[in-house]
Amino acid sequence: MFDAIERVPGDAILGLIQQFKDDPNPKKVDLGVGVYRDEDGITPIMRAVKAAEKKLIADEATKAYIGSHGDPAYGEHVLKMVFGADSPVLADNRASATQSPGGTGALRLAADFIASQLPGKSIWLSDPTWPNHLGVFSAAGLDIQRYPYVDEHNQLDFEGMAAALKTIPKGDIVVLHACCHNPTGFDLSAEQWQAVLEIVTERELLPLVDFAYQGFGNGIDEDAYGARLLAENLGEVLITQSCSKNFGIYRERTGCFIAVAADTEAMEDVRSQLAITARENYSNPPAHGSAIVATIFNDAELYAMWHDELAEMRGRINELRQKFVQGLEPHGLAERFAHVAQQRGMFSYTGLSKDQVETLRDEHSIYMVGSGRANVAGLNDANMEYVCNAIASVVK
């Protein structure tokens, strides 16, 4: 029966992991895989996480299921982190939190919810967007459409984006990146978010805000500006959130699907459907990651430690962006790559072509995604000059 099954190419980004491992060059640099790395090239376990896990091991009394909506304490803390403790959305009890296996699990929950409860609606993605958006929404059977996000000069094309949003059929879903846009690093300003709100309101669109990197851009509250603006001014918003990155617990798969409804009654209706959607998908989410997050939020000392560590990570990434542009200045390329210092989050749409990316890999053992997306966190003081020299050689 398996004779008819065809072999398909693996995920391009995950494939870079193996290519990098197999490369014998001692100078090799991994700018492809989307995880945070410290100055030593390690994805560290945060000190606050380590301390929380010690506490959990000592205090945990059961390994029983936590229910389709997940840990209530985790959900409560995530809602406060996303909307702010004094949010009118929370005061009016308009938001529901359903814990998910990572941000990707939250996206699949959203996709299945849309497919079952909002049939016939198309979902609009930025061009470019995170490649797995296409996979997740396609697997759920949704019709995918695109709106422009980056122009031919590798700059944020907000004019083109806004024009496209104004043509979207009423009632369709539009996916927006809350901050640290993946893969480009180009984020919307406060004024641009206001413009998006006006368009979404006029066109009666349903925003789905992908919020995977809260705290990696400009700060916990600063990065939430767009999500909070939409939730406070619209009757209905969907948000997919992740703690995998800002707590450094990638393998614990710790995410959350948030639905904002017009009032409490409507929220409970949606929440009841989400319990069924989760049950039919994976039944119950894993508990360890959410317990770590809840433990940190429940302990003032651990929370302060985590907050400071996240600020250090964010500061390091932004400093690396500046150093990268400065490193290209002797080659006369600082102006060409100035946008890298303006972008936010771990990722940068460098503007390098596919051929240039392949040359960097084949001749210099520098790995990044074929689109030219680089993970800035893979840079450090030891490899910065080597990477800048290599980029200069392929560009010139």
How far is the CA of 155 from the CAs of 2, 49, 159, 281, 327, in angstroms?
A: 47, 37, 11, 38, 21
Q: Which of 210, 208, 180, 176 is nearest to 193 (CA)?
A: 176
Name the catalytic one among 28, 112, 130, 157: 130
Report the C-alpha gap between 130 and 123 in whole angstroms.
14
| Annotated catalytic residue 157 | no
As given in the structure block, the two tokens for residue 387 are 């990477």
For 40-58, the pLDDT digits (tens) are: 999 999 999 999 999 999 9
Position 15 scores a pLDDT of 78
Determine the pLDDT at residue 76: 98
Segment 148-185, tens digit of pLDDT: 999 999 999 999 999 999 999 999 999 999 999 999 99
Catalytic residue among 112, 187, 223, 245: 245
pLDDT of the residue at 239? 98
Cα 14 from Cα 32, distance rounded (Å): 9
Tokens 């980029």 correspond to 391
What the chain holds in terms of domains, given with CATH numbers, is: 10-45+302-395 (3.90.1150.10), 65-298 (3.40.640.10)
pLDDT at 14: 72
Name the pairing type of β-strands 254-260 and 237-242.
Answer: antiparallel
Q: What is the model's pLDDT at position 9?
A: 76
Q: What's the pTM value of the predicted model, to 2 decimals?
A: 0.95
What is the CA 119 to chain-centroid distance, rounded? 26
Is residue 27 part of the annotated active site? The answer reads: no
The rounded distance, in Å, linking the Cα atoms of 159 and 149 is 9
pLDDT number for residue 3: 87
Low-confidence ranges of the chain (pLDDT < 50): none
Instruction: Measure the CA–CA gap between 207 and 288, rounded to whole angstroms.
Output: 30
**Catalytic site residue from 112, 172, 210, 223:** 210
Query: What's at 255, amino acid-wise?
Result: G
63: annotated active-site residue: no
